[in-house]
Structure 1
Amino acid sequence: MKLLSALILSIGAVIAAWQIADGLRDLKTGDRYVTVKGVAEREVEANLALWPLRFVATGDTLEQAQTTARKSRDTISAFLKLQAIEADAVELQRIDVTDTEANPYQSGNGGKRFIVNQTLMIRSQDIDKVKQAAQAMGDLVDSGVVLSGDYGASGPTYLFDDLNSIKPAMIAEATAAARDAAQQFAADAGAEVGGLRRANQGVFQILPRDQAPGITEAQQPVKTVRVVSTIQYYLK
């Protein structure tokens, strides 16, 4: 029994000594590290375009307003067909009908009682065709289609939804850039880069390629993907 107790005490002493030594090592080297950032950027093209075309039609009667709305819808469909946008990329969405006489708070509409608002949503991966159609929007206005200022008139929204395919390579690039920065710092300080102390991958950002006032990322088919990784290396 005494032998077993002595053996346990001996093992405990060895473990305690090892922990103390490890702690002293950390105390000695813990403040010798460098924090560096690695940046990776990549230019990408949008792979999905969303374009809600909302148009307005009015009439003294509901039938007149519906007839005008139908003509506008047919005109838009013909326009999109002329721009080689497939019919299955166009979806008819909500229809809102307003009777101005039924709402005492609704202001007049130049004598027109009924207002019909309707939305056609274009969802396409053919970015070039959507861009071409958006540049020819004046033809719709010339044809008598009244577009809502909140929908369609501002143009399509271009999305890039394939971020996962480029993440690994960009993280590797940012990490390599951070390592290069650490090695340069260590060389200037007369030290060497040791092991990794801490790493933060960073947040991926999708930014407009051309950054100018009033231009958003969603309006640009070509975008810049950026990530900044923050890494700490021990110095020795």
Structure 2
Amino acid sequence: MKNFRVEAIILSIGLLLLGVFIERGFSEFAGRDRSVNVKGLAEMEVPADKVTWPLVYKSLGNDLNALYEEIKRSNRTITEFLKEKGLTDKEISINAPVIVDMKAERYGNNQDSPYRYNVTTVITVTSNKVDLVRGLITEQGELLKRGIAITTGDYQYNIQYEYTGLNTIKPQMIEEATKNARQAAEKFAKDSESTLGKIRHANQGQFSISDRDPNTPHIKKVRVVTTIDYSLED
């Protein structure tokens, strides 16, 4: 009988300890599963460091040989204008002219046109001298004095501004986005009466580059959103 009582006491103590350990284990497991997911935003405005400027002009005529000579003179005049203003041969490229035979156009209203051929020529400037090129764009009317009318408004030949220095500012922006994400996580932890723990998982996110607004395409807005999981502790 005495041995039975001892065994019962030992068994009871064992079951009590087992319950304590199980409860503690569940608490620790639940604690490990507590986390907060936050996002951090970083934005920066930067000037474009590359510009592509297509200069487009039209030529009309009936004699292809005469048009060819006219286009050669016009290309030479435009190139000289650009080089006088500070651009180099490497920044100027002359595209092959596009010739439309208006008499052969079946679905156009060109049968009454006094000219048979409509030639489109494009000279493209690609340069890192963004400010210089922007100034030239405002001065292109000067070409009228030299007998060349640059056409505008064709969506195929829009001026394009780019920013190519993303790798230079990436570390700074990621640091700022991470800092902003941590501030949000700390606020959440404080409101939930918890302590912010270590980073469990982090996603840098995609960088995006867009125009600041439609009127200033030469100023770019760089944006990144990071997503971070922090553990929460009591």
TM score, norm. by length of structure 2: 0.77
Counterpart-to-counterpart distance in 2, 1:48 and 1:36? 35
Counterpart-to-counterpart distance in 2, 1:132 and 1:23? 70
Counterpart-to-counterpart distance in 2, 1:202 and 1:61? 58
180-189 or 117-126, which deviates more: 180-189
> Superposed, which structure 2 residues align to 1:110-189 within 5 Å?
110-141=113-144, 143-148=146-151, 149-150=153-154, 154=158, 156-189=159-192
Counterpart-to-counterpart distance in 1, 2:225 and 2:145? 48
Structure 2 match to 1:78? 80
> Superposed, which structure 2 residues align to 1:26-45 within 5 Å?
26-30=29-33, 32-45=34-47
**8 Å contact 2:31–2:232 — kept in the other structure?**
no
One-letter amino acid matched to 2:221: T
Structure 2 match to 1:95? 97
Gaps spanning 5+ residues in structure 2: where?
Answer: 1-23
144-153 or 68-77, which deviates more: 144-153
Shift of 1:86: 1.7
Shift of 1:159: 0.7
3-state SS of the aligned residue for 1:94? coil
TM score, norm. by length of structure 1: 0.77
Aligned residues: 208
Shift of 1:129: 0.9
Shift of 1:133: 0.6
Counterpart-to-counterpart distance in 1, 2:194 and 2:203? 23
- Residues 71-98 of structure 1: CA distance to partner in whole angstroms, max 9, x if unpaired? 3323322321232222221011122122
Cα-Cα RMSD: 2.6
**8 Å contact 2:54–2:157 — kept in the other structure?**
no
Counterpart-to-counterpart distance in 2, 1:72 and 1:103? 26
73-82 or 52-61, which deviates more: 73-82
Shift of 1:43: 2.2
Identity among equivalent positions (%) equals 34
**8 Å contact 2:47–2:220 — kept in the other structure?**
yes
In structure 2, do the counterparts of structure 1 residues 145 and 110 end up closer, same or farther at CA, with 3 Å as the change threshold? farther
In structure 2, do the counterparts of structure 1 residues 77 and 112 end up closer, same or farther at CA, with 3 Å as the change threshold? same
Counterpart-to-counterpart distance in 2, 1:193 and 1:86? 57
In structure 2, do the counterparts of structure 1 residues 41 and 106 end up closer, same or farther at CA, with 3 Å as the change threshold? same
Shift of 1:28: 4.1
- Residues 103-153 of structure 1: CA distance to partner in whole angstroms, max 9, x if unpaired? 333431731111211111111111111111111122234544243432697
Structure 2 match to 1:204? 207
Larger Rg: 2
1:227 to 224, 229, 233: 224
